Structure 1
């Protein structure tokens, strides 16, 4: 089960990034061109937020199944001094959770607003902050600190 969830988490990451990037592009475009907030803009916002929620749910299951985080939770003092274990046990999970909270707050604010320009502006700002945090905490394959492959196999 753990390898399957890990592969799924790796795959859904790309859906989160693509949908957030698309939502951000639409948000900035709408904000700066005074476009009317349409049903398709709302669908894009909803899809990006939904993918982020799906990803965090998979991540929470992984957190409690992962041997790295199990070690982190049981040997906290020693684990804090081990870069990879600390990253997955504390840094990655905290930053990703914070990102989800920011994206969710932004999405909720957009739903409540009535002014189209404010909707786009709110979505652009909150989603951009969330995306920057996400990008900073992904274990990229090129990272010298903690790296993982871009895609994981399901078998």
Structure 2
């Protein structure tokens, strides 16, 4: 179960990043060009938010079955001083929880606004903040802090 969840979580990251990057591009385009907020724009917002929520559910489930997190929680005194263990036991989940919260709030705010330009602006700002948080806490293969493969396969 652990390896399947880990693979799904790793692969779903690309759906989150792709949909979020497209939503950010699309919202800045709509905001700066003062476009009308159409059904497609709403779909872009919804898809990016949905992928983030799916990834979050996979991540939280993974958190509770991960041997790394189990070690972190049962050996907190020593594990907190081990960079890779602390990253997955505390830092990654905290920043990602905040990022998904930012996406959710930004999506909800944009949905409730009446002015089309304000909808795009709200999406652009909130989703950009979330993307920066996400990019800072992905264990990239090139990261000096802790690294994992960019693609995991079953």
Task: Provide the secondary structure at the position in 1 that maps to 2:5.
Answer: helix
Unmatched 5+ residue regions in structure 1? none
Match of 1:97 in 2: 97
**TM-score between both structures, scaled by the size of structure 1:** 0.98
Task: Provide the secondary structure at the position in 2 that maps to 1:88.
Answer: helix
Unmatched 5+ residue regions in structure 2? none
Match of 1:7 in 2: 7
Alpha-carbon distance between aligned partners in 2 of 1:108 and 1:144, rounded to the nearest angstrom: 35
- Per-residue CA deviation, residues 46-103 of structure 1 (Å, 9 max, x unaligned), is 0000000000000001101101100111111111100000000000000000000000
The runs of at least 4 aligned residues of structure 1 exceeding 6 Å deviation read none
Shift of 1:144: 1.5
The answer as to 2:74 corresponding to 1:74 is yes
RMSD across aligned positions (CA): 0.5
Match of 2:62 in 1: 62
Match of 2:152 in 1: 152
Match of 1:109 in 2: 109
Shift of 1:153: 1.1
**TM-score between both structures, scaled by the size of structure 2:** 0.99
Shift of 1:133: 0.2
Q: State how many pairs are aligned.
A: 154
